[in-house]
A = this chain, B = another copy of it.
Amino acid sequence: MTTTELSPYWLRDNCPCAECRDPRNGQKLFQITDLPDDLAIAARAELDGHLEVLWSDGHRSRYPSEWLAGNEDGDGRTEADKRLWAAADFARGIPEARWDAYLADPAERTAVLAAVRRSGFAVLRGVPAVERQVLAVAETFGYVRVTNYGALFDVRIEPDPNNLAFTSAAITPHTDNPYRDPVPTLQLLHCLENSATGGDSGLVDGFHAAALLRAEAPEHFAVLTRTPVPFVFRDRGTELRADRPLIEMDPLGRIREVRFNNRSIATLRGPAAELDAFYAAYRAFAAITLRPALQLDFRLDPGDCLIFDNVRLLHARTAFAQDGRRHLQGCYADLDSLSSTLSVLERRSAALDELAALFEGEGAGEYLGEAVTMAEHMLQAGALAEAAGAGPHLVAAALLHDLGHFFDKHGRDTLHGRDLMEGRDNRHSHTGADRLARWFGPEVTEPVRLHVAAKRYLCAVEPDYRARLSEASEYTLQVQGGPMSEEEAAAFAAHPGAGDAVAVRRWDDEAKEADAVTPDFTHFRPLLAALMR
């Protein structure tokens, strides 16, 4: 949209001011009905990268231009945001990761969850093959959805099965629990034992199958999107029923969910001609799901855990001989929490990219007349902390302690602490700590906040400390308030964070050596990522 055509209620509903939106949690503080019936833009001006609006009711709003021009990601749930696949697309391997790498490395975790969101599945290898472990896997990205099968279910032969899954029979591609609404949107299957002949797993991309149906027989596709199908499951203590179409579209006509399970389709009712049309469409869709080119086959070995999208992918298994044992444990979970976890990981990764860019950009500038750049100074401080065996939070604090020099109090970049060098205290320790608080907890931000106070403290309590200060540091000491008084020093020493702040301060003071060899920012990324909670 250009700013010349703006929808008034839309614009006002998005006013970012603190009166309209709680600054703490971003929630709107007014109701849409609070706005007057004749709301209009009284005056507007584009200024300083913002659109400023005076409203007919006197309210004023200020919108960043990039927000106005911007676009939003969708929720990622329709075919538009998926990679539709056939078996051959994974000829070079399926999305998989080692369990230990998945736990240790956010990039690995991001890749696995992104694969589930985009391709509908991933396999974790080397997950301890112990009972109930599947619940721990689900809890790495979301919440277990309990059903009538329990928090977890055992897939193995049962003497009196209430479900075909608990026999040794082959099972053709299907989705689980279509008789639930809300249906569990994710399924996990963790292999504990698989020494039987057969019992291989198969996956079919139901969105791809539906898209093929739409291309090959649009009339069949239309019938399946508009026919609510009664899915039913009954046993002694359960009587579930959901009437939902096999293929569900969003309001814009994009494929959003697939339910497919011949076993649990109960009696559809209607005129014979409609039933004929449904069954012709259903058979055509079923035939597509059985095309060998669509089905990706693989074997789950003990320790493998398959995670897949149960409103998109159909899963299958071959029959197995009773010549060995086969035991999977499964549970359900939901896509929304998985997506949330992935988004937070991506947000953190973007934050690390932002920090990396600061080290490479502003960080290349000179550091208050020292012989090193800002980036070299901070990387040296981080490396010194690491070499000293400090905890990750102190390595991070040392690495990031001077970040505030890159921003003034309004969040605008400054030229390498020029304010400070011109005799004004830019309060860089506070600016840096506040900036870091978006991503890190107080164990990282507070030593940063206190590292200037620590200098003033050390000057007060260690006479020879001040003598060792660099010339620039001695100069800034004056701007920062000089050495602490006796009372100030006592109060500082009593602060629970004083020890950490002093430690960071000492690495800070040492980290000014020209031509020292230090690791670059990339080296610290995993440590920083792990601290972002």
- Determine the chain B residues whose CB is within 8 A of the CB of A71 once the complex forms: 269
- Determine the chain B residues whose CB is within 8 A of the CB of A271 once the complex forms: 1, 5
Residues from 134 to 177 in A contacting B, C-beta threshold 8 Å: 143-148, 160-164, 172
When all copies of this chain in the complex are counted, the total is 2
- Determine the chain B residues whose CB is within 8 A of the CB of A242 once the complex forms: 75, 77, 336
Residues from 480 to 504 in A contacting B, C-beta threshold 8 Å: none
- Determine the chain B residues whose CB is within 8 A of the CB of A234 once the complex forms: 26
A286 CB contact (under 8 Å) in B32, B172, B282: B32
A290 to chain B, nearest CB (A): 6
Considering the chains assembled together, what is the distance between the CA atoms of A70 and B180 in angstroms? 24
A240 CB contact (under 8 Å) in B144, B145, B243, B340: B340
Query: Could you tell me if B276 and A27 are in contact, using CB atoms closer than 8 angstroms?
Result: no
Q: A160: nearest residue on chain B (CB-CB)?
A: B24
- A9-23: CB near B (< 8 Å → 1, else 0) gives 110011000000010
A237 CB contact (under 8 Å) in B180, B251, B344: B344
Residues from 486 to 533 in A contacting B, C-beta threshold 8 Å: 533
Query: Could you tell me if B265 and A13 are in contact, using CB atoms closer than 8 angstroms?
Result: yes
| A182-B183, A286-B32 known; A347+B252 contact, CB < 8 A | no
A22 CB contact (under 8 Å) in B164, B172, B243, B272: B164
Which of A220-228, A322-330, A391-399 is the contact stretch?
A220-228
A10 to chain B, nearest CB (A): 4
A25 CB contact (under 8 Å) in B162, B179, B226: B162
Query: Could you tell me if B251 and A225 are in contact, using CB atoms closer than 8 angstroms?
Result: yes
Q: Number of A interface residues at 8 Å Cβ cutoff, please give it.
A: 98
Query: Could you tell me if B148 and A181 are in contact, using CB atoms closer than 8 angstroms?
Result: no
- Determine the chain B residues whose CB is within 8 A of the CB of A337 once the complex forms: 147-148, 240
A437 to chain B, nearest CB (A): 10
Considering the chains assembled together, what is the distance between the CA atoms of A134 and B337 in angstroms? 23
A319 to chain B, nearest CB (A): 13
Considering the chains assembled together, what is the distance between the CA atoms of A8 and B280 in angstroms? 11
Query: Could you tell me if A238 and B163 are in contact, using CB atoms closer than 8 angstroms?
Result: no
A407 to chain B, nearest CB (A): 21
- A268-302: CB near B (< 8 Å → 1, else 0) gives 11011101101110110011001000000000000
A250 CB contact (under 8 Å) in B26, B144, B180, B243: B243
Query: Could you tell me if A27 and B336 are in contact, using CB atoms closer than 8 angstroms?
Result: no
Q: A146: nearest residue on chain B (CB-CB)?
A: B143
Query: Could you tell me if B226 and A262 are in contact, using CB atoms closer than 8 angstroms?
Result: no
Query: Could you tell me if B75 and A230 are in contact, using CB atoms closer than 8 angstroms?
Result: yes
A6 interfacial by beta-carbon distance below 8 Å: yes
Query: Could you tell me if A272 and B5 are in contact, using CB atoms closer than 8 angstroms?
Result: yes
| A77-B181, A143-B147 known; A239+B28 contact, CB < 8 A | no
- Determine the chain B residues whose CB is within 8 A of the CB of A31 once the complex forms: 172, 262, 286
| A77-B243, A183-B182, A250-B228 known; A7+B340 contact, CB < 8 A | no
Query: Could you tell me if B283 and A33 are in contact, using CB atoms closer than 8 angstroms?
Result: yes
- Determine the chain B residues whose CB is within 8 A of the CB of A273 once the complex forms: 7
- Determine the chain B residues whose CB is within 8 A of the CB of A162 once the complex forms: 24-25
Considering the chains assembled together, what is the distance between the CA atoms of A245 and B268 in angstroms? 27
Interfacial residues, chain A to chain B (CB-CB below 8 A): 1, 5-10, 13-14, 22, 24-33, 35, 67, 70-77, 143-148, 160-164, 172, 179-183, 185, 225-228, 230, 234-243, 245, 250-252, 262-269, 271-273, 275-276, 278-280, 282-283, 286-287, 290, 334-337, 339-340, 343-344, 347, 533
A-B contact pairs, 16 of them (CB 8 A): A8-B276, A24-B161, A25-B162, A29-B164, A31-B286, A32-B286, A33-B283, A72-B267, A75-B230, A75-B241, A143-B145, A144-B146, A182-B182, A228-B252, A240-B340, A241-B343
| Apart from A10-B276, A226-B252, 8 more pairs, CB < 8 Å | A1-B271, A7-B275, A7-B279, A10-B278, A32-B279, A70-B267, A148-B340, A239-B340
